[in-house]
Amino acid sequence: MLDRLTAAIKRHLVVPGGDTAVPHLMLVGVDEAWTSVERLYEPMICFVVEGAKRVTVGDVSVVAGPGELLLTPLDLPAVVDLAKVPYRAAVLQLDAGTVTELLMELKGYEGYGEYGEYARPAPQGLVSAAVTPELADAVARWVELLDTPEDIGPLAARTESEILYRLLRSDLGPLLREAFLTDSATSRVRVAARWITERYDQPLSVEEIAAVAHMSAAGLHRHFKAVTGMTPLKYQKRLRMQAARRRLVSEGESAAQVAHAVGYSSATQFNREYRAEYGLPPGQDAARLRAEPGVYSAPGRVTP
């Protein structure tokens, strides 16, 4: 069944890929190995059919290869290593409303009780797992809608719901439910992470973030670290560093301009923290990265 999905991806992929006519579907391809490339992952499920990648977030690292999926249910500033290429994957961009609506719908079915009660898993923001034959079949049919564009409107949302349903019935079901249940710690961390992502260039306090997540400061610190591998303020700093690096390379701004743009009031502090993060001053690091064409020229939210 993986062969069918692989063939469908290859028929429609134009390297490096991107959004498609099917809502929430991205196709991704990389032909040259990448090491330690930063990406801001949005909530998604990545179905790998060829090659392999390692994703590191904070102190958590996960590898996904052919026939495996990578689930990230919240915004995560990640470091990606693509040591095995060519790399090909289909990506389902998770929509919170779609997942929540399906969860509520399933509660209305008589059989939901068979798997509706579950032991809550440890909080996780990054996990890999094998793709079952039934799931591979559903994803293949979803990608194959690109063969018949007239079928996308009537069938895309239904097929996406089937994919999510099969994931909810799998071993990853409890983790996916936890991420989108409004009363769970993982869901509250997901909301806090999105809030920080949208305001990373502003002064933020742990107390503000905790209020958004409806948690105590201590509870936020504990659960945020468990899910993302970072504290909330370290998470904000990683977002700032990633944004700064992209601007330095792609827009050619000075270190002082970039420091201000990503929220630093002191260029000296920015330079010091940037060097501590990447091992070189901003200007030298940007010059080095420009010698690696294609890696940092892509938008920051690309999901390889």
- The verdict on 216 and 173 lying in the same domain is no
The CATH number of whichever domain residue 57 belongs to comes to 2.60.120.280
Helices (H), 147-231: 152-168, 173-180, 185-198, 206-213, 217-228
The per-residue pLDDT of the chain, averaged, comes to 90
pLDDT in tens, 247-263: 998 887 899 999 999 99
Residue 16: pLDDT band by 50, 70, 90 thresholds?
confident
pLDDT in tens, 66-114: 999 999 999 999 999 997 999 999 999 999 999 988 988 887 664 554 4
| E strand spans, the chain | 17-19, 25-30, 34-41, 44-57, 60-64, 68-72, 76-93, 127-130
- The verdict on 141 and 202 lying in the same domain is no
Report the pLDDT value the prediction gives residue 91, as an integer from 0 to 100: 98
Determine, yes or no, domain membership for 255: no
Residue 216: pLDDT band by 50, 70, 90 thresholds?
very high
- The verdict on 172 and 186 lying in the same domain is no
- The verdict on 67 and 213 lying in the same domain is no
- The verdict on 161 and 216 lying in the same domain is no
Distance (Å, rounded) from C-alpha 97 to C-alpha 180? 9
- The verdict on 224 and 171 lying in the same domain is no
- Rounded mean pLDDT of 200-221? 96
Instruction: Provide the residue range defining the domain that includes 134.
Output: 2-179
* Locus of tokens 């958590």: 60
Q: Are 17 and 26 in contact (CB under 8 A)?
A: yes
Distance (Å, rounded) from C-alpha 291 to C-alpha 287? 7
Report the pLDDT value the prediction gives residue 1, as an integer from 0 to 100: 72
Distance (Å, rounded) from C-alpha 300 to C-alpha 282? 18
Q: Give the tokens for residue 49.
A: 């059919």
- The verdict on 124 and 12 lying in the same domain is yes
Determine, yes or no, domain membership for 79: yes
DSSP state of 120: P
Determine, yes or no, domain membership for 281: no
- The verdict on 116 and 224 lying in the same domain is no
Report the pLDDT value the prediction gives residue 35, as an integer from 0 to 100: 82
- The verdict on 191 and 119 lying in the same domain is no
Angle between helices 267-278 and 232-250 (to 10 degrees): 90
Domain count along the chain: 2
Is pTM beyond 0.85 here?
yes
pLDDT in tens, 170-205: 889 888 888 888 788 899 999 999 999 999 999 999
